[in-house]
Chains A and B, each alone.
Chain A
Amino acid sequence: MMMAGGTLPGMLAQGIAAHRGWIALALAALVLLALAPLYLSPFHVRVAQLFLLSAALAIAWSLLGGFAGYWSFGHTAFIGLGAFVAGLVETGWTWPSPALAFAVGLLAGALACALLAGLIAYPILRLRGIYFAIAMLGVAQVLGELNNSIDAFKGTMGIVLPQLAPRAVEPATFYYYLLLVAAAVTLAIGFAVKVSRLGYGLLSIREDEDTARMLGVPTERYKIQTFVLSAVLTGVLGIIYAHSLGFITAGSVYRTDFSLNMIVYALLGGMGTLIGPVIGAGIMVVLTQIVLGRLLDTHMFITGALLVILVMLAPRGIVGFVKPILARWRGGFR
């Protein structure tokens, strides 16, 4: 990202100044969420944990999908790859402490995601629209199947990951805080991208890639950088998720519904915004975990129906739906 514009600090400062209200809101939410385990039941802490993971994943996906308009249908590839590389590294050697094992695993997993993304970025980002979406779906499927079928990768057998939570701390609470940090970092990175030259460049790519190039936007470089960044963030989140599960198989981390959910959250909340994926994740997690938690039989039907209703009624997401109303409301008071 630093490569993306030598002007990052200046623009970041301007961006912070211009978005003071939002940043205050985000910090308030952070404090509220940090205190949450004190007043939530264990079940609700797990729901909140899922919300943090979902929101962060959706933001990571949005860097490429929402900002640049390159909708990946296979981001679960990076969740799975990150999780398995980390797992294999952490269990393949003996490490002096679980924390060190985790640190090395995190680094290795993130590196693997960066490598894969960097390797396929140039050819795959030449595809547009549906073709990019499907090619990414293909990448995820190939990776998942290979991980599952090649014994050395332990996809079928599974990997038991080292327990990171100290004895004194409830694991659910521990992973809650770990995910809270990860989500906050992801959001901060997303913000830094959004207000930078890179962010504007991605927006111009989404709007009209050829014109963007003619304006001097280094489209290839921006797309590749963003793809790698998005992949690494997704991978890191996948690694933390894997540890929170404790035991992973290929089936539990390469999941098409992960890929899909990232899109749904962003779409539901508002494509191309940062708050959108967070709102989308919040609504869907609450809905599926709390409201529909008891309707296991019809869970899929209701998710599908929601998807259909969503696209039909609010194609621009909740942000797109609320924004004009808010603007009118503000206008009325000024």
Chain B
Amino acid sequence: MTLILQTIVDGLVLGGLYSLAAIGFSLIFGVMNVVNLSHGIIVLIGSYLSYILWRTLGIDPLLSIPLVMVALFGFGYVYQRGLIQLAVDRSSLLASMLVTFGVALMLRNVLVLIFSPDFKSITPSWAFNFFVIGPITVDLVRISALAASLVLLCLLALVLGYTHMGRVIRATAQQDLAARLCGVNARHVYGLTFGVSAAFAGASGAILGIVLPFSPPDEAHWTINAFVVVTLGGVGSPSGALIGGLLLGLISTATSQAIGPAFPNAMMFLILVIMLLVRPAGLLGNAFSGSR
């Protein structure tokens, strides 16, 4: 019983992180149908930025989140306007996916050159505090990671729901042409969406840094995770990402607990493939119309 509870708590912590890491991927997919294979590397850039700020200036990783987000927002905007949009215009969506893959390879190489391929981790001074609730042990790091993930997801939901930028992004996602006819500058919106996406990916990277060790080759893992989350939860909405992420977290921890630590990835992909086949609309049932 205790084991099950502990598994659930661990799964939720991991799941919160997955949700936050996936939301940007989901937005880009929902708004412009681009599968951003460089999403995982952006998550890791967030981790490394936070790592630098912590090592050189001693900034607490949770406090560095806003800085990381601002920096990556700019990066995302420029990346979309300067490269992705050109690729989509000149070629096809599938080919634009290859461009994002190429960028992922380049950035991964850069990270390896700067930081070495070894694992890094961020350990703030409060990292070793933990508390015990009944039979379950929760360390402060994990609980703050979960809290930060949830707060940021809520923040994004608010931005999308109640700000002008959010409304324009949602309108473009639903009806590209109609939004353009209403005078929305679609390219600017795409840029903003990429910016928001990169900002939240970076935030998840900063949080990930305090929970797990990270290294450049992990990027593929985070990209694929994002895809699975989106497949589970549906495209383009924070609530979908939250449900997909939490489920994935629970499935991962439960699989490694019940079958063995080598199997969560295989299980994840099995679920991905099955979900694509039986319920391409995601559990919540929106979007994914293009899959068949």
Residues of A within 8 A of B (CB): 71, 123-124, 126-131, 133-135, 137-139, 141-142, 145-146, 148-149, 256, 260, 263-264, 267, 297-301, 303-308, 311-312, 315
Contact = CB atoms under 8 A, between A and B. Distances in A.
Interface string B274-292: 0011001000000010111
B260 to A, nearest CB: 7
A303 B266 contact: no
B105 A297 contact: no
A153 B6 CA distance: 33
B227 interface: yes
B109 A298 contact: yes
A267 B95 contact: yes
Contacts of A256: 220
Contacts of A260: 101
A135 to B, nearest CB: 5
B270 interface: yes
15 contacts: A126-B277, A130-B35, A130-B94, A134-B227, A135-B277, A142-B273, A145-B263, A263-B98, A264-B98, A300-B106, A304-B105, A306-B102, A308-B87, A311-B99, A315-B90
Given A130-B97, A135-B277, A141 B113 contact: no
B112 to A, nearest CB: 8
B105 to A, nearest CB: 3
A134 B269 CA distance: 10
A65 to B, nearest CB: 10
Contacts of A131: 276, 280, 288, 290-292
A131 B270 CA distance: 14
Contacts of A307: 98-99, 101-102, 105
B291 A128 contact: yes
Contacts of B95: 267, 311, 315
A123 B93 contact: no
B102 A304 contact: yes
Pick from B101, B110, B265, B269 the residue with the most CB of A within 10 Å: B269
B94 A129 contact: yes
Given A138-B272, A304-B104, A304-B109, A127 B277 contact: yes
Given A130-B290, A315-B92, 9 more contacts: A131-B292, A133-B94, A134-B276, A138-B276, A141-B266, A145-B266, A301-B105, A303-B102, A304-B106
A30 B112 CA distance: 41
Interface in B56-115: 83, 86-87, 90-99, 101-110, 112-113
Contacts of A301: 105-106, 109-110
Dominant secondary structure of chain B at its interface with chain A = helix
Top 3 nearest A-B pairs by Cβ distance? A304-B105, A307-B102, A315-B91
B262 interface: yes
A311 B92 CA distance: 9
Nearest to B263: A149
B224 interface: yes
A127 B291 contact: yes
Contacts of A306: 102
Contacts of B224: 137, 141
B277 A124 contact: yes
Contacts of B270: 138, 142
Interface of B: 35, 83, 86-87, 90-99, 101-110, 112-113, 220, 224, 227, 260, 262-263, 265-266, 269-270, 272-273, 276-277, 280, 288, 290-292
B104 A142 contact: no
B280 to A, nearest CB: 7
Nearest to A136: B273
Given A123-B277, A134-B272, A308-B99, A129 B263 contact: no
Contact of B265 (A130, A134, A141): A141
B88 to A, nearest CB: 10
A311 B34 CA distance: 15
Contacts of B102: 303-308, 311
A145 B270 CA distance: 11
Contact of A308 (B83, B109, B110, B112): B83
Given A149-B260, A303-B105, A311 B273 contact: no
A298 B99 CA distance: 18
A15 B290 CA distance: 36
Contacts of A145: 262-263, 265-266, 269
B106 A127 contact: no
A128 to B, nearest CB: 6
Nearest to B220: A256
A256 B83 CA distance: 24
Pick from A123, A128, A131, A133 the residue with the most CB of B within 10 Å: A131
A25 B123 CA distance: 63
A79 B101 CA distance: 22
Nearest to B271: A138
A45 to B, nearest CB: 29
A305 B265 CA distance: 29
Nearest to B265: A145
A231 to B, nearest CB: 16
Nearest to A140: B269
Contacts of B260: 149
Contacts of A300: 105-106, 108-109, 112
A315 to B, nearest CB: 4
A153 B223 CA distance: 28
Pick from B95, B110, B227, B260 the residue with the most CB of A within 10 Å: B95
Given A300-B106, A304-B106, A312 B87 contact: yes
Given A267-B95, A315-B92, A135 B109 contact: no
